[in-house]
Amino acid sequence: MPELVQQLPDGPIDFIGDVHGELEALQQLLSHLGYQTDGTHPEGRRLVFLGDLVDRGPDSPAVALFVRQLVINGNASCILGNHEMNVLLGKKRTYNRWLGHQEGMPGPLEQAPQRVATDTERTKILDFFRTLPVVLEHDALRVVHACWDDRAVEVLRRSGPDADVVSCLRVADDALRRAELVGASDPCAKANLNPIRRLLCGPEIPAFEGASRRTVRTPWWETDHGDDRACVFGHYCRVFLGEGSAAAIERREHPFGGMQRRWTWASKRTICVDFGISRRWSERLSGRDPDLFQTRLAAFRWPEEVLVDDLGHEIEPGPADAGVFP
């Protein structure tokens, strides 16, 4: 088993946000970034994937196996996301029917095609997910899927070199339950108190009336996160779609609203690299022209501090991070 906190490679890095089974978008993005199909780069750059490789998109098995091979070849690193953890926990949802089950809630996502993994593919993918760390870091950068929390990271540091992430998560859940800190009355307790869930899912609060989920995510990056190093993460679905559907999505998922104006790079040195590719399936179902897709797969280039999307657009994050992909 891997150490759950590992060293981030030195040198120039391209951090790839949540991919969610969108193989074509990933291939396009890597091409714009100058990578060869084997993950090598003429300038010696390295890829770091921020988790959530799978679910919702049309070919989760291909994305997971592609990234797996890049990691095996030594050309990429990858951390665990909450969707990889769901797979390891055996959760069966509409968005992960690529695993071969037919369970999950009814809804539009049922109409979105998901290629089902073969038995061999599924075994390779599960084995790969079990090797992934939760956190990467070096002297200048911290990398996590959802939320950086010093106390949670310290718990993982003490877990040792042979820690199993699923066992660690379940042990913490059991301890919280025995301490009567987790119950039906507080659906957020697991995410907020379990150190692994906090890093993979971020802090949450009970959902407001009319929300599509029981809990909603909160902006941890607006508070002092206890570390001067820059932090790169994904998970939060920054949907820069202009004034129309973006506003509707934010009101439904994020009670604090105006999400794009709250992501600061210059002041708090935190950057989210998830630009809503998890919703591309809905654009595809609606018949939208692919050239007009508003959801994006993005990369954050370090040390250049530039964001690049799968259509080749670039923006430089500013104090208010007001740059919006065309």
pLDDT on residue 225 = 62
pTM of the shown model:
0.88
Specify if 25 maps to a domain. yes
Q: Residue 207 falls within a domain, yes or no?
A: no
Q: Number of structural domains, the chain? A: 1
Contact 236, 276 (CB under 8 A): no
Q: What is the pLDDT along the chain (326 residues), one digit of tens a residue?
A: 679 999 999 999 999 999 999 999 999 999 999 999 999 999 999 999 999 999 999 999 999 999 999 999 999 999 999 999 999 999 999 999 999 998 887 788 888 899 999 999 999 999 999 999 999 999 999 999 999 999 899 989 888 788 888 888 888 878 777 766 555 456 677 777 888 999 999 887 766 655 556 667 777 887 766 678 889 999 987 755 443 333 333 333 433 333 344 445 555 678 889 988 998 999 999 998 888 888 889 999 999 988 899 989 887 765 544 444 44
CB-based contacts of 43, cutoff 8 Å, min separation 6: 12, 34
Domain carrying residue 49: 7-159+218-315
Beta-carbon contacts of 81 under 8 Å, excluding residues fewer than 6 positions away, are 18, 50, 51, 52, 53, 145, 146, 200, 234, 235
The answer for 235, left when phi > 0, alpha when psi is -120 to 50, beta otherwise, is left
Question: Tokens 């073969």 identify what position?
Answer: 118
Query: Could you tell me which residues are beta bridge partners of residue 306?
Result: 301
Cis peptide before 303 (omega within 30 of 0): yes
Is residue 206 in some structural domain? no
pLDDT for the residue numbered 325: 44
Question: Which stretches does DSSP call E strand in 138-217?
Answer: 141-144, 204-206, 215-217
β-strand 13-16 against 46-49: which pairing, if any?
Answer: parallel
DSSP element (H, E) containing 225: none
Q: Is 166 contained in some domain?
A: no
Question: What CATH number does residue 62 fall under?
Answer: 3.60.21.10
Pairing between strand 46-49 and 76-78? parallel
User: What count of other Cβ atoms lies within 10 Å of the Cβ of residue 271?
Assistant: 23
Maximum alpha-carbon separation in the chain? 55
| pLDDT of amino acid 317 | 62
Structural domain contains residue 86: yes
Asked if residue 325 is part of any domain, the answer here is no
Number of Cα atoms under 13 Å in the Cβ half of residue 265: 21
Q: How far is CA 248 from CA 26, 57, 87, 274, in A?
A: 26, 22, 29, 18
Instruction: Please report the pLDDT score of residue 264 as a whole number.
Output: 53
Alpha-carbon span 39 to 215, nearest angstrom: 37
Question: Domain for residue 1, yes or no?
Answer: no
What is the reported pLDDT for 259? 39
pLDDT of 241: 42
Spatial contact of 83 and 50, defined as CB atoms under 8 Å apart: no
Residue 267: inside a domain: yes
